[in-house]
């Protein structure tokens, strides 16, 4: 069992939760949850954020053993930057084949005004969301915030990739993930295929 898995197990037990209960919240099987706790499956962005939310702790605590329940993280105002959002797709690794584990946080930056311990950031790379969002901007997402029609979101639509778009809930349960740059086509999906959706809560311009 690796250190992250040990912290997940210890935190889950301290809160009186079973593997089955946490797995149900995450939409995974109990056996897969067991693999995660044993460290035989690699955590991706969404899973660690989801586990942290289910256990009511900051992701940083599960990663490092610090910032229990998000208190230290909020006090320090440290927001983890997990990767880039290039031309619509969230980059987990350079080859795009393997999800980025949160142990590979690229950097932190300070923002004392954000009180969501599970908030995380990505860096815009590309022009699918121009002119409102530009290359090098940091975009901060909250797993805790409710997503409404017209919000900007990081949406996960398959196993390895997410997309930074504006979300619209269309008739017939269709979900449209729209770019701002009209040279790009919108992505059409549905609630069943949308595996995760994180609301944008702040943009920090590259040169601000």
Domain boundaries, the chain: 85-204
Distances (CA, A) of 7 to 4, 57, 78, 148: 5, 11, 20, 33
How much of the chain, in percent, has pLDDT values that exceed 90?
Answer: 23
Residue closest to 190 by CA, chosen among 172, 169, 175: 175
> Cis link prior to 107 (omega < 30° from 0)?
no
At residue 159, the pLDDT reads 52
What number is the average pLDDT over the span 168-178? Answer: 90
Q: How far apart are CA 134 and CA 128, in angstroms?
A: 9
The pLDDT score that the predictor gives to residue 57 is: 83
Per-residue confidence (pLDDT) for residue 158, from 0 to 100: 63
Which segment of 18-22, 139-143, 156-160, 165-169 scores lowest on mean pLDDT? 156-160
Sign, CA torsion 142/86/194/101: negative
Tokens for 208, please give them: 């601000």
Is residue 132 scored above 50 in pLDDT?
yes
Rounded mean pLDDT of the chain? 76
Report pLDDT for 60.
73
Count CA within 13 A, CB hemisphere, residue 208: 10
Q: How far apart are the first and last CA of the chain?
A: 43
Structure tokens at 165: 């778009």
Give the model's pLDDT for residue 53. 87
Architecture of domain 85-204: Ribbon (2.10)
Contact by Cβ (8 Å): 73, 109: no
Give the model's confidence band at 10: pLDDT under 50 very low, under 70 low, under 90 confident, else very high: confident
Distance CA 110, CA 127 (A): 26
Is a pLDDT exceeding 60 seen at residue 75? no
Strand ranges for 96-186 from DSSP E: 107-110, 120-125, 138-142, 152-156, 162-169, 174-178
Average pLDDT, stretch 57-83?
61
């Amino acid at each position: 069992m690796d250190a992250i898995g040990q912290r997940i197990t210890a935190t889950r037990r301290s809160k009186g939760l079973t593997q089955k209960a946490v797995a149900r919240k995450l939409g995974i099987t109990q056996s897969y949850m067991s693999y995660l706790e044993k460290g035989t499956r690699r955590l991706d962005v969404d899973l660690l954020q989801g586990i942290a939310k289910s256990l009511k702790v900051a992701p940083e605590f599960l990663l490092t053993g610090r910032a229990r329940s998000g208190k230290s993280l909020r006090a320090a105002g440290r927001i983890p930057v997990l990767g880039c959002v290039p031309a619509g797709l969230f980059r987990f690794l350079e080859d795009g084949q393997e999800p980025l584990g949160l142990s590979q946080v690229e950097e932190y930056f300070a923002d004392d005004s954000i009180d969501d311990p599970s908030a995380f950031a990505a860096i815009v790379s590309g022009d699918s969301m121009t002119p409102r969002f530009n290359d090098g901007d940091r975009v901060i997402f909250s797993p805790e915030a409710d997503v409404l029609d017209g919000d900007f979101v990081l949406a996960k639509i398959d196993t390895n990739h997410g997309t930074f778009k504006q979300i619209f809930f269309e008739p017939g349960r269709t979900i449209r993930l729209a770019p701002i740059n009209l040279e790009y086509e919108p992505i059409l999906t549905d609630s069943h295929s949308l595996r995760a959706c994180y609301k944008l809560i702040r943009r920090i311009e590259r040169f601000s």
